[in-house]
Amino acid sequence: MTLKETIAHVEAAHRMVREDREWDGLSMDLWEAYNLQDEDLIEQLRPPFLQSWRTVTTYVLRDTFDAAGITVADPSHPWGIATLTANGASSEPLLWREAGDGNRSIEGPAGFELLTFSEAMTHYADCLKSLLPEQP
């Protein structure tokens, strides 16, 4: 399976489970809970948010990753989707980034930002690019 095909399957599988705006809504709700420092709401929202992403990668995409020669393991980062390994290299798509880039202050008390669906898919694709050689 080519890199482009693999990326297309990853995006399609996630969209099959939820539309882009639904993924973004989950992210926004959790982000707001962190900024409100509502620990009860965080505990209610965070596990299903992470599990949704992880389930699609681990189960729905199993055949796709097998065909591409990618093994899937549990993430090592708390905001990781999975640890993906192929051709002797590993990569872990994440659902967050640190807030602030050195040129601006950190936004909100959380100190991080959750990615939108589009941003998460871009990061996911970048992780796959580091694992699979591009083919014509």
pLDDT of residue 60: 96
d(CA 90, CA 127) in angstroms, rounded, equals: 9
Q: What is the pLDDT of residue 44?
A: 97
Q: Is residue 90 part of a domain?
A: yes
The answer to whether position 134 is within a domain reads no
Q: What was the pLDDT predicted at 83?
A: 98
Predicted local confidence at residue 29, as pLDDT: 95
Domain membership of residue 81 as a residue range? 3-129
Contact assessment for residue 79 and residue 96, using Cβ atoms and an 8 Å cutoff: yes
User: What's the pTM value of the predicted model, to 2 decimals?
Assistant: 0.87
**How many structural domains are present in the chain?**
1
Which two three-digit tokens encode residue 64?
């796709």
Which residues of the chain, if any, have pLDDT below 70? 100-110, 135-136
